[in-house]
Amino acid sequence: MMEKEAKIYVAGHRGMVGSAIVRALNREGYHNLLTKTHSELNLCRQEEVEQFFAEEKPDYVFLAAAKVGGIVANSQALADFMYENMILEMNVIHAAWQNQCKKLLFLGSSCIYPRMAPQPMPESCLLTSELEKTNEAYALAKISGLKYCEFLNRQYGTDYISAMPTNLYGPNDNYHPTHSHVLPALIRRFHEAKEAGLPEVVCWGTGSPLREFLYVDDLAEACVFLMNHYSGNETVNVGTGKELTIKELTGLVAKVVGFTGEIKWDTTKPDGTPRKLLDVSKLEKLGWRYKVELEDGIRLAYEDFLNNPIRVER
């Protein structure tokens, strides 16, 4: 268990996941938190990271910093996604080990699993077949991070764990029109269509892929739970265990936003992985289950979108 007075570093505290982890820690009485903005600490600079850890000596680390994006961003910036994510992960994890950090939680992504993995995807299917090509660079970086944690545990007896969340959404999400993930992209698209009085909205693909979505504050609570209750080399899936089609999701977002026009599908655009449902039985057996249902979460996310225009990048 993390001591209440322990020094806890949340890497990426301004992002959607990191800010949710800070909220979860504060709710549970952890207030001795270390946070640094990118301008204060560039995690891609090894010397800066090593100096920070040597000076601050955090007891626990939540590694939520990452370069992230949707299908377009991932496919257009393959080298950038691989380099930046691998560099910052290795810098932080290595510096934590060098400075005797008690425990570290590394956050990955469900895209680490094979494109045609068994459904729902158990943790054991990692590296059993090829990855989805549209986000292969990001997935390889995340696999490297979780494997480095595992290898440190095996070689040096550290207590470094990893969690693999499903698709996330919620406060502080990125609503960029082309570089965001599917749910925030839909929120923005339907909102702007409603405001402009457009008769229709065109969405990518066929609408047939199945997806699972987790409200980010649920993930944050799971991360704190795992830090306090789990140790092991195998990663832990974090999700709801429920899925719906992208077509069903668009209908749900349109309903929440209040768009009443027609929804059309551009089938020349890629669908991505056909199905990505996580097997969350391991986490449920440990004693944790999600709380926020999808429609309620989308309403909360839409409120955040309306109240935080700074997140709506042009």
From first to last of its 314 residues, what are the pLDDT tens digits of the chain?
999 999 999 999 999 999 999 999 999 999 999 999 999 999 999 999 999 999 999 999 999 999 766 555 556 678 988 999 999 999 999 999 999 999 999 999 888 999 889 999 999 999 999 998 878 899 999 999 999 999 999 999 999 999 999 999 999 998 877 667 889 989 999 999 999 999 999 998 999 999 999 999 999 999 999 999 999 999 999 999 999 999 999 999 999 999 999 999 999 988 877 888 999 999 999 999 999 999 999 999 999 999 976 555 44
Which residue blocks in the chain are alpha helix, DSSP H?
Answer: 16-27, 46-56, 71-76, 78-98, 136-156, 182-196, 216-229, 246-257, 281-286, 294-307
| Closest to 63 (Cα-Cα) out of 139, 9, 125 | 9
Angle at 112 between CA 165 and CA 21, to 5 degrees: 25
Reported as type and span, the H/E element at residue 60 is strand 60-63
Residue 35 identity (one-letter amino acid): T
Length of the chain: 314
Q: How does pLDDT run across 230-254, given as a tens digit for each residue?
A: 999 999 999 999 999 999 999 999 9
Only one residue has tokens 């909360």, namely 300
Report the catalytic residues.
138
pTM for this structure?
Answer: 0.93
Q: Under DSSP, is residue 304 helix (H, G, I), strand (E, B) or coil?
A: helix
b/e for 105-131, b at 16 or more Cβ within 10 A?
bbbbbbbbbbbebebbbbbebbeeeeb
pLDDT number for residue 314: 41
Within 10 angstroms of residue 233's Cβ, the number of other Cβ atoms is 15
Which region, left, alpha or beta, applies to residue 232 given φ > 0 means left and ψ of -120 to 50 means alpha?
Answer: left
pLDDT number for residue 174: 87
CA dihedral of residues 297, 301, 302, 307 (deg, nearest 10): 140
Q: Is the peptide bond before 120 cis (omega within 30 degrees of 0)?
A: yes
In Å, how far are 55, 71, 142 from 91, measured between CA atoms?
A: 15, 26, 14
**CB contact set of 157 (below 8 Å; sequence gap of 6+):** none
pLDDT number for residue 70: 58
pLDDT number for residue 73: 55
Angle at 288 between CA 285 and CA 294, to 5 degrees: 120
